[in-house]
Structure 1
Amino acid sequence: MLHATIKLLTQFNLTVKQTNTRFSTPTNGIEDCCSQSALKCFQSQLNTITSNNKELQHKLQKNLLKSSIVKGVDRCTVEEKARVQCASCNSYNKTDSQVFLKNLLLLLQKAYSRLN
């Protein structure tokens, strides 16, 4: 599922129209135990990106909610999560859609590499 979502994201990236809209973008340096909250941040904003392919956008957004993806990005125990303070979505720097999607891709690729 993770690999399929990475492919979807790559396809979706080709349909995105550049706008002046800025997105709260978790960086690729976020702490591992905050990967789930970063994923939620990406997912919550994905539908506001301007795209030529709304069907692909909807499918990608649905995939990011699937438990296999959510579990795949996070390898921390409940105890480890309790010890970290994850940033809120609004606290991340605002970037354009290209940087936003690149960082989402990096998060998914990192999770995929851990599974293999």
Structure 2
Amino acid sequence: MNLTEKARSLRSDQTDVEQLLWQQLRNRRFYNYKFRRQFPIAPYIADFACLDLKLIIELDGSQHTEQKLYDNQRDIFLEQRGFKVIRFWNNDVIDNLEGVLESIRLAILKITDKNE
């Protein structure tokens, strides 16, 4: 399966947590920025990406506690390409969606302030 096919598969098989955040980000609902879900940035697939802001949002489940090195290498790769990566634990999205959205809003403000 190539990267695009894998991304399509992930989009059709979203987790409940991804669906919860996607409902807030889709269709330019969040400060009129276009986010994409399960977006390929070879060789990786970002959970959510706003290309205008070069912002990537990653949702981490319990498996990420054992793959910190992989996640760090991935973040470095993406940051070297100009992306800002922010990560949230799944339980934070479930338990504190408003706080997660506020963190995303603050990240957007930081990016847009830097670009002005």
TM-score category of the 2 structures, normalised to the smaller one: 0.3 to 0.5
Structure number with higher helix proportion: 1
Structure holding more strand per residue:
2
TM-score, scaled to structure 1: 0.33
Q: Tell me: higher relative CO, structure 1 or 2? Use CA pairs within 8 A at least 6 residues apart.
A: 1
* TM score, norm. by length of structure 2: 0.33
